[in-house]
Amino acid sequence: MRRVLLLLLVLLLSAYPVSAEDNVPIVESATGDDYADGELASYGIRVVAWRNDSIDADDDGRDDAVRIVLALNKTAEVESADVNILVTSYHDGRSVEEWNNLSFNGAIETSIRIDAWGEGIYVHKLQMFDPQSGKKLADLDAGEWNMAPALTGAYLELKLSAPEWMETGDECTIERTFIDEIGERYDVMGKRDIRGIPFKVNDWDDVLDCSLWPAGDYLISETYQNGLGQKTESWLNLTINNRPAPSFELQVIGDGEEYGTTCLLHIDPTTIDSHEEWTYIWDTIPDHGAGDSPDLNCSSWQPGVHLVRIEVVNEQGISSTSGLNLIRLTPLNPVDSNISENQSMAWPVRSGGDAVGASSDTGLYGAGSAALLVFLVCIMIGMRSKEYEEEEIIGVPRTSEQKLYAAPPILTPAQAFQQQWGQPEDTLPEPAPSIDELPTTVDADGITWRRHPDGKMDWYDEGAGNWVAFE
């Protein structure tokens, strides 16, 4: 029965189609090498038949794989036969190995396939080994072929998806494409190496998020090489520009107005970027508990000086700040009934200033008369001085009486002080402040404040006797 089965197997292998390009006939022994046959026979193994078949897997008219088919049989001297079969393929200075370990009790058929990994000539060798001792039992020439690969070799690609003009925080992704079918086929995968990026990535990260990268010029490169020496690389240039800080104007309504009148602080964006995600951080002294809003109502703030600072932060964490001193005046007319007497008593005292002077007729007439008198005196002195100058020019001599009553030269206060005390002009004391010149207020602590037309504030230092700018 076994002989019948073996005969059928041989006939089946013989009927296997062979292309004209293969031109590799079926043989009844491994090579005709008595040594090989003898070694195999001593281990109870006989090669009934073997052949090589070329394969065009991608139908491009070129061979891209070779399959080696073996028919083995156990001899009667052993109960079972064990053998390790190795097919080695050589191409362009490199080689791959394919193993097939067999254990059989009768006849067996097996095959080993070699796929091309490059274009050119391939040389194949077939070897058999004893699994226990590792002794070589056969060393056979398995033919030579000119092949081209059907599998995709090492391939890398970096594809950028981002705006043409990119700023920090913009949507940005880098798609990484990687293929190495040959490396996977022969288990010779290499290591991918990517450089030029600010953060570490893994080989399995197919998409990189570059929207959080800092601003700068990036030259990104990724390289790869598998165990068969196949190399590939991909390059990408990327520029991320700094997003400008939030640009805005701090608009004020009610600065310098009385308590109870309309008062509003408003942030007006002046940038073309979206400001929907802006964050508003108000800081006031005294603290008014302002929230996160572009508007701040200051109508209820007590009379006095209020320090206001605003920090605006965009979605990317970039911030801009602005600030001002807000003045709220004590009302001259009766206030809201909801304000207690004790509370209103703690308010700063409102100086009369220009308002008092304007309402007093006597003071107005007196000031006007004094100004007229001073004006007339100045005219008389000027006329008298002009006469003396003309006399000196035409050479008219002066009498001693004329010289005695001649008008003295007009000196500035600084010149007069220097003439009397011999001190330089820059050491002159500052004139005492006058509350009639600018509007003033006195706060609850007794400090006098003066407001300039440009909105700046001064406070009077009683100890030093001068005005100090409020920063």
CATH of the domain at 189: 2.60.40
Based on the fold, state whether residues 279 and 200 are members of the same structural domain: no
Based on the fold, state whether residues 258 and 195 are members of the same structural domain: no
Based on the fold, state whether residues 212 and 179 are members of the same structural domain: yes
For the ranges 180-184, 370-374, 413-417, the lowest mean pLDDT is seen at 413-417
Based on the fold, state whether residues 134 and 25 are members of the same structural domain: yes
Q: Indicate the residue among 184, 213, 240 that finishes a domain.
A: 240
Q: How far apart are the first and last CA of the chain?
A: 114
Based on the fold, state whether residues 125 and 168 are members of the same structural domain: no
Based on the fold, state whether residues 259 and 175 are members of the same structural domain: no
**pLDDT band at 378, cuts 50/70/90?**
low
Residue 166: the pLDDT is 93
3-state helix, strand, coil in the chain (%, to 5): 20, 40, 45
Residue 207: the pLDDT is 96
Based on the fold, state whether residues 170 and 288 are members of the same structural domain: no
Position 395 pLDDT exceeds 60: no
- Structural domain including 236 reads 155-240
Position 27 pLDDT exceeds 60: no
Residue whose tokens read 């002195």 = 381
Measured CA to CA, the distance from residue 388 to residue 303 in angstroms comes to 59
Q: Which of 37, 130, 26 is nearest to 71 (CA)?
A: 26
| Over residues 393-402, mean pLDDT | 50
> Within 10 A of 359 (CB to CB), how many other CB atoms are there?
10
Domain count, the chain: 4
> Within 10 A of 245 (CB to CB), how many other CB atoms are there?
15
Position 37 pLDDT exceeds 60: no
State the CATH number of the domain containing residue 317.
2.60.40.10
Based on the fold, state whether residues 212 and 343 are members of the same structural domain: no
Mean pLDDT of the chain: 78
Based on the fold, state whether residues 166 and 139 are members of the same structural domain: no
Task: Fill in the DSSP letter of residue 43.
Answer: T
Q: Indicate the residue among 240, 261, 288 that finishes a domain.
A: 240
**pLDDT band at 338, cuts 50/70/90?**
low
Based on the fold, state whether residues 8 and 118 are members of the same structural domain: yes
Position 189 pLDDT exceeds 90: yes
Q: Indicate the residue among 240, 273, 302 that finishes a domain.
A: 240
Position 415 pLDDT exceeds 80: no
Type of residue numbered 120: G
Based on the fold, state whether residues 14 and 138 are members of the same structural domain: yes
**pLDDT band at 78, cuts 50/70/90?**
confident
**Which residues, 6+ apart, have CB-to-CB distance to 23 below 8 Å?**
none
Based on the fold, state whether residues 138 and 7 are members of the same structural domain: yes
| Torsion sign, CA atoms 197, 202, 208, 211 | negative
pLDDT tens digits for range 282-328: 999 999 888 888 999 998 898 989 999 999 998 878 889 999 999 99
Measured CA to CA, the distance from residue 35 to residue 67 in angstroms comes to 25
Query: Facing residues of 308 across strands?
Result: 284, 324
**pLDDT band at 357, cuts 50/70/90?**
very low
Of these ranges, 17-21, 368-372, 378-382, the one predicted with the greatest mean pLDDT is 378-382
Query: Between 336 and 195, where is the model more confident?
Result: 195
**pLDDT band at 75, cuts 50/70/90?**
confident
